Structure 1
Amino acid sequence: MPQSSSGPVLQLLASGLQRWIRSQCDSAEEINLALKGSALELLRGRLQGVSLEARKVSFEQLPLMRAEIECGALKATLRPGQPNQPVQLQDPFSIEGEVVLAGQDLNQALASDRWRWLGDLLAEQLMGLTPLRSLVIDNDQLVLTADVITGKDPIKRRFRLCADQGTIRVDHCDAEESLLLPMDPNIQINAARLQGGQLVLNGQATVQP
């Protein structure tokens, strides 16, 4: 796991950044942060980069089992009088890495007020039914279930995922239907796969400090 760089200045900064990252999350069980660079570089307004590992983090009500993120050189101003945010990042910067979501957690998220619209979009566009009853990841396939208005047995359909045009494409296993998920323009998905009941995404994003 990443460890804070040696030196009291960078250790203090890493601790403050961890607190700031936690404040941006709904909840976070474990966050490990490593700074790349030296105290002298920081005093000159520059960091070589940051590496982050997090486990069981909820961000915007989206539960992440694991996240591994890195970024390159950053322009920063040291703020020793602000212990909760001891550094001010100057310009937008890019991050890249991998996040993992468990199928069970994703199913619960799609039932929440924040993300219900996405579950209903999947059901309506891919199955012609709404609302979505459940989502299950079965090995490398996504199983969606939706209720039928007539009260008959719910409908189940299987899908596969891949990255396409910077977002996630959902392909029907037994038909030609597919759906490109709406994506924040600051986020680009480079790879998407299902395995062992989990959704694994690799990509990059632009962060506005």
Structure 2
Amino acid sequence: MSSPEEKANGPVMQLLASGLQLWVRQQCQSIGSLDIQLEGSALQLLRGRLAGVQLLARRVVYRELHIELVELRSGPIQVHIGNLLKGQPLQLERAFQIQGQVSFTPDGLTRSLSAPPWRALGDSLGEALLGIVPLVELRMSRDRLIFAARGLGRPDLIALETTIAAVEGSVEIRSSDGSLRSRLPMDPGITISDARLEAGMVQLVGEARVSV
């Protein structure tokens, strides 16, 4: 049974959850569905501290990256609860850590690497793995990620089966025979601990520091 104090402060937790949902949506270009669960007590929250947040989002577009599934958990978060109670937008006091998993479909990766911010990366992968650009599409076959590109004046696609692995905090893409490898450039605030091809998707597990 909830204590009177917990009952009285229940709306505050709901208000913060709504504020966090709005804040997350503002960071993204679009989100299909979003669920946020708060960790901690209302008393901690009134002191400006939240123990953590669990987030589950589907069909996310973030900086032109098309992500099918995002599952994250944050560390402690400092919040300006007074401003929120006054009806002002949520403000977070300092950067915080998140850890979890993001999953991409091959179609989502194709659209991402075709977008202007990531096209150079797509061409770099096409050059490193296939020797030609532009990269046309990615698809999956069983437990392999297939890169396909079309050279100038060539009607047929040239394809290469690859696997992925986490190496030194980044993602390394390897041809199936191991003769070709290309490592993705990573933001210094992001560390990848596991990379795998599973359930028809590219799944990346790691942690990141979120600036505010």
Contact 1:55–1:64 (CA<8 Å) still a contact in 2? yes
Partner of 2:89: 84
Partner of 1:108: 111
Which of residues 26, 36, 47 is equivalent to 1:23? 26
Q: Does 1:157 align with 2:139?
A: no
**Shift in Å, 1:81:** 2.4
Partner of 2:126: 123
**2:182 aligns to what SS in structure 1?**
strand
Q: Does 1:167 align with 2:166?
A: no
Partner of 2:197: 194
Q: Does 1:139 align with 2:157?
A: no
With 34-43 and 183-192 compared, the bigger mean Cα shift is at: 34-43
List aligned pairs for 1:28-39, cutoff 5 A.
28-39=31-42
- The one-letter code of the counterpart of 2:44 is E
Aligned in 2, Cα 1:15/1:173: closer, same or farther, shift over 3 Å? same
- Could you state the TM-score of these two structures normalised by the residue count of structure 2? 0.89
Q: Deviations over 1:18-66 (max 9, x none)?
A: 0111111111111111111122211212111111111111111111111
Q: Percent identity?
A: 39
Once residues 72 and 35 of structure 1 are traced to their aligned partners in structure 2, the CA distance between those partners, rounded to angstroms, is: 11
Which of residues 163, 179, 183 is equivalent to 1:180? 183
**1:130 aligns to what SS in structure 2?**
coil
- The one-letter code of the counterpart of 1:180 is R
Q: Does 1:74 align with 2:77?
A: yes
- The one-letter code of the counterpart of 1:81 is K
Gaps of 5+ in 1: none
Q: Does 1:61 align with 2:64?
A: yes
Contact 2:110–2:136 (CA<8 Å) still a contact in 1? no
Aligned in 2, Cα 1:150/1:55: closer, same or farther, shift over 3 Å? closer
Partner of 2:210: 207
**Equivalences, count:** 203
Which structure shows the bigger proportion of residues in helix conformation?
Answer: 2
Partner of 1:47: 50
- The one-letter code of the counterpart of 1:52 is L
Once residues 145 and 17 of structure 2 are traced to their aligned partners in structure 1, the CA distance between those partners, rounded to angstroms, is: 38
**Shift in Å, 1:166:** 0.4
Once residues 63 and 150 of structure 1 are traced to their aligned partners in structure 2, the CA distance between those partners, rounded to angstroms, is: 30
**Shift in Å, 1:82:** 4.0
Contact 1:42–1:77 (CA<8 Å) still a contact in 2? no
Question: RMSD in angstroms over aligned alpha carbons?
Answer: 1.7
Once residues 41 and 190 of structure 2 are traced to their aligned partners in structure 1, the CA distance between those partners, rounded to angstroms, is: 30
**Shift in Å, 1:138:** 1.8
Contact 2:134–2:151 (CA<8 Å) still a contact in 1? no
Once residues 40 and 64 of structure 2 are traced to their aligned partners in structure 1, the CA distance between those partners, rounded to angstroms, is: 33
**Shift in Å, 1:176:** 1.6
**Shift in Å, 1:112:** 1.7
